[in-house]
Structure 1
C-alpha cells in the first residue's frame, strides 16, 4: 500500500511501514510544513492513504468537501502502540482502507466510506 505519514504520526511508524514493504512518503520530507490541505492534496495526487493524529483532516473532508484517497486517524493512540494497532488494522482491514476514513480511538476501530468527491 501507499501511505503519506503526517509529522505527528511519527518516524517509527513510517520506518515500520517501509520495513513491511509499503511505499511510504513522509510529511517531514516537505520543508517547510506545507499545511493540512496541501498534505491531503499530495496524498490524493499520489493515491496515498494519509496517516495522522490530527482531527483537522476529518473537517476538511466532511465539512469542506476535500477529496481524499484514505485517511487513518490515530487521535488517542500513544506512540508506543501505533505500530501494533497499524499491524492489526492492516491485517484485519487492509483491503477496506483505500478510500476510507479510519479512526482508532480507545482501542475501537471505526471505518467510514465517503463517496468520491463528497
Structure 2
C-alpha cells in the first residue's frame, strides 16, 4: 500500500511502514510541510496514497469525504509523543489485513478503530 504521513508524525513512521513492505512518503518528501490541508489532501488523491495524520480536520467528512480518497487514517493517541504514536502502528497494519481502507476514514485510538465511509 502507498502511504503519506503528515508532518505532525515522527519520521520513524516511514521506516516502520517501509519495513512492513509499504511505500511511505512524508509530506517533507514533497516539500509540503506547512502546506494547507487541501494541498496535502490533493497530493494524496493524485498519488493514490493513504493519508496518516494527527490532524482532526481530516476527520471532517464534509470537507474530506472518504469516498474521494484512497483512505484517511486519523490517529488519536492519548499522548502524541513519538512512542505513543509508533505503538499504534502494528495494530493498524494488522487491521489492514482484514479491513478495506480505500474510500474510508479510520479514526484510531489506543483501544478502538472507528471506520466511516464506503458510501
TM-score over 0.5 for the alignment? yes
Aligned equivalents of 1:5, 1:38: Cα separation in 2: 13
Aligned equivalents of 2:74, 2:64: Cα separation in 1: 18
| Length-normalised TM-score, structure 2 | 0.81
Contiguous gaps of at least 5 residues in structure 1 = none
Q: SS of 2:51's equivalent?
A: strand
**Which residue does 1:73 correspond to in 2?**
74
Shift, 1:72, TM fit:
0.6
Aligned equivalents of 1:5, 1:19: Cα separation in 2: 15
Aligned equivalents of 2:59, 2:118: Cα separation in 1: 11
Per-residue CA deviations over 1:66-118 (Å, capped at 9, x if unaligned) read 53221111132532133332211221333412221111134221111243xxx
| Higher normalized helix content (fraction of residues) | 1
**Which residue does 1:11 correspond to in 2?**
11
Aligned equivalents of 1:73, 1:65: Cα separation in 2: 12
Q: SS of 1:9's equivalent?
A: coil
8 Å CA contact retained: 1:52, 1:74: yes
8 Å CA contact retained: 2:2, 2:24: yes
Aligned equivalents of 1:13, 1:22: Cα separation in 2: 11
Using a 3 Å threshold, how does the CA distance of structure 1 residues 65 and 26 change in structure 2: closer, same or farther? Answer: closer
Count of equivalent residues: 113
